[in-house]
Chain A
Amino acid sequence: MKVRIDTEVCQGHGQCVMVCGAVFRFDEQGFAVVEAEEVPAEHEDAVARAELQCPERAIRTER
């Protein structure tokens, strides 16, 4: 699985960090970033939940 955040759309609600802090983190301005596009297998379910949970619909995953 791959994951991307549309930085034009993210407003830093932080839902993704709450759902999966292993993959998503905040930058110094408080917006969400991912360290690597490739999602470790053990975090795939959590990343899928984060995509669903984002109120701004800023997260895109690809399998």
Chain B
Amino acid sequence: MSDREKFNRAVSTAREFDPYPSEFLDHEFEVYDTLREYLPVARSEAMRSASLDGAGGGWVVTRYDDGCEILKNPADFSNQTQNYPVRPWIPQAVDPPLHTSYRRVLNPWFTVEAMTKLEPHLEQYAADLVDEMLQKDAFDFVADFADPFPTVIFCELAGFPMDDYAQIMDWKNLIMHANDGHPRGHELAHAKAVEMGLEVGDGDRLPEEASLAVRAQAAQATYAYFSELIDERRERPKDDLVSQLVQARLDGERDLSQEELEDTLFLLFMAGLDTVASALGLIVQTFAQNDAKRREFVGLMEDPARVGPAIEELVRIHSIVLLPRRITRELSFHGALFREEDQVLVPTQGINRDRDEFPNPNEIEFDRMPNRHVGFGLGPHRCLGIHLARRELRIALQAFHRKCPDYSLDPARNAVAFGGMKGLASLPLSKG
């Protein structure tokens, strides 16, 4: 192929770029590599589901330096996007300086010290779940471990009653996975759309209007649930995040309003339920297909000096988060003209495989140094739960591999992936 042909191919790759359907995953890194080489600041007309108002199109950047520049500049690249059902989430959808005030309330609960206190409980729960899972000959790593482990821990931490676990998971699956290839999310969304009398079409995906309506309805139900929970904890405080949030003072000056409390819980809920589960599924899928890398990890995972950097490298290689930003003023960005109110997407997956920053970007190098990956984001919106996520990943991978150092993909049952904030809905494995 001539350079001209390669460039033309990149232009159509850009135009059709949409990371939300699960089919995108079949060639995602090829797409990011093509864009990075030929159109590092690219315009997509297809990036439709990025925005809840259904408006199409937006920019996508794939160079590490460009992504970092955007994430570190909240004045020009705002987090106040339209991507939120009902109301924006706090603090994710708020810009500094107000964002800083909210983070000051939340930060102390997610410090290394606070998370270290949780470690014995995390270790015990991980070991118990692994034992239960391994009683079966063929097991599903995602359904039996990766989904419940971080979710249950998070519900305990936040103070969501465990009796409501199934309902909470259904709302999460509706809001996050109505239309991204997640079988449970799609099943729930389809049923709800029929119940609401919406046009559901006959394809694998719901029409955008139905998907948006179903997500908004589930979000409303979740808000109503949080509202009751907040009232309950205001009356009878417990040792959990909801109770502490109710008592928190913003800038030491005022209580959080009922809406602020609900919007904060909503963010914690969305950020806490899927992310570690998704990363765990993708990491173990890679290990199931790569005996040498898995054995290398098992060989170093008990070494406190090496396991931390190894987890960072696994987060780099399996970054899952797509970070949309709203452009606040017309500006020229590395040759592209960004218009006010346009959207630009920073896909951490693409940024974290830029060879200019990470030599051999597609190789897992457990001792990679430096490793300035942006898997937990960058700038003021850096993942609040970073220290919880790191601990959960380490403890989960240690607990699993201590009991089951050798495994492979189950030849009879395929893994099921979903797109967007990608992950696995199912990962059947066989021992040995």
Residue B386 is within 8 A (CB to CB) of chain A in the complex: yes
Q: Is A33 at the interface (CB under 8 A from chain B)? A: no
Contact A53 B379 (CB under 8 A): no
Could you give 28 example pairs across A and B, Cβ below 8 Å? A11-B378, A11-B379, A11-B380, A11-B382, A12-B107, A13-B382, A14-B112, A14-B386, A15-B312, A15-B372, A17-B112, A18-B308, A18-B309, A26-B111, A26-B112, A26-B113, A28-B108, A29-B104, A29-B108, A29-B111, A30-B108, A30-B110, A30-B112, A52-B369, A53-B370, A53-B371, A55-B68, A55-B374
- Label chain B's interface by main secondary structure: helix
Give the contacting residue for A12; candidates B72, B309, B382; CB below 8 A. Answer: B382
Q: How far is the CA of A28 from the CA of B109 in the complex (A)?
A: 10
> Cβ of B370 and Cβ of A52 under 8 Å apart?
yes
Q: Give chain B's interface residue range (CB within 8 Å of chain A).
A: 20 to 34
| Chain B CB within 8 A of A54 CB | yes
A residues apposed to B, CB below 8 Å: 11-15, 17-18, 26, 28-30, 49, 52-56
Contacts of A49 in B (CB 8 A): 369-370
Give the complex CA separation of A26 and B386 in angstroms: 14
- Most chain A C-beta atoms within 10 Å of own C-beta, residue among B72, B113, B370, B378: B370
Which residues of chain B are near A54, meaning CB under 8 Å? Answer: 372
Chain B positions within 8 Å of A56 at CB level: 72, 378-379
Given contacts A11-B380, A29-B104, contact A55 B112 (CB under 8 A): no
User: Could you tell me the distance in whole angstroms from the C-beta of B94 to the nearest C-beta in chain A?
Assistant: 16
Q: Which residues of the partner chain B approach A18 to less than 8 Å between Cβ atoms?
A: 308-309
Q: How far is the CA of A14 from the CA of B376 in the complex (A)?
A: 11
Question: Nearest chain B CB to A21's CB is how many angstroms away?
Answer: 10
Residues of A within 8 A of B113 (CB): 26
Within 8 A of A (CB), among B217-243: none
Whether A55 lies near B372 (C-beta < 8 A) is yes
User: Does B378 contact A55, Cβ atoms closer than 8 Å?
Assistant: yes
- Docked Cα-Cα span, A54 to B312, in Å, equals 13
9 further interface pairs, Cβ-Cβ under 8 Å (given A26-B111, A28-B108, A29-B104):
A12-B107, A13-B386, A15-B372, A49-B370, A52-B369, A54-B372, A55-B373, A56-B72, A56-B379
For A55, what are the chain B residues with a Cβ–Cβ distance below 8 Å?
A: 68, 372-374, 378
Q: Is the CB of A13 within 8 A of B112?
A: no
What are the 7 closest A-B residue pairs judged by CB atoms, nearest first? A55-B372, A11-B382, A52-B370, A30-B111, A53-B370, A29-B107, A30-B107
CA distance A9 to B92 in the complex (A): 18
B387 beta carbon closer than 8 Å to chain A:
yes
| Residues of chain A within 8 A of B104, CB atoms compared | 29
Contact between A14 and B378 (Cβ–Cβ < 8 Å)?
A: no
Structural contact, B380 and A14, CB atoms closer than 8 A:
no
Counting chain B CB atoms within 10 Å of each CB, the highest count among A28, A52, A54, A56 belongs to: A56
A14 neighbours in B (Cβ, 8 Å): 112, 386-387
In the complex, chain B residues whose CB is within 8 Å of the CB of A11: 378-380, 382
CB distance from B315 to the nearest CB of A (A): 11
Give 1 or 0 for each of B124-162: 1 = CB within 8 Å of chain A CB.
Answer: 000000000000000000000000000000000000000
Q: Which residues of B contact A12 (CB under 8 A)?
A: 107, 382, 386
A55-B352 Cα distance, complex, nearest whole Å = 12
Assuming the A-B contacts A11-B380, A29-B107, A30-B107, are A53 and B372 also in contact, with contact meaning beta carbons closer than 8 angstroms in the complex?
Answer: yes
**Which chain A positions have C-beta within 8 A of B108?**
28-30
Could you tell me the distance between the alpha carbons of A17 and B379 in the complex, rounded to whole angstroms?
A: 18
Please, how many angstroms separate the alpha-carbon atoms of A14 and B384 in the complex? 12
Q: A11-B380, A18-B308 are in contact. Are A28 and B111 (CB under 8 A)?
A: yes
A17 to B108, CA, bound (A): 17
A14 CA to B111 CA in the complex, in Å?
10
In the assembled complex, the CB of B4 is this many whole angstroms from the nearest CB of chain A, namely: 37
Interface string of B307-350 (1 = CB under 8 A from A): 01100100000000000000000000000000000000000000
Report the nearest B residue to A51, measured CB to CB.
B370
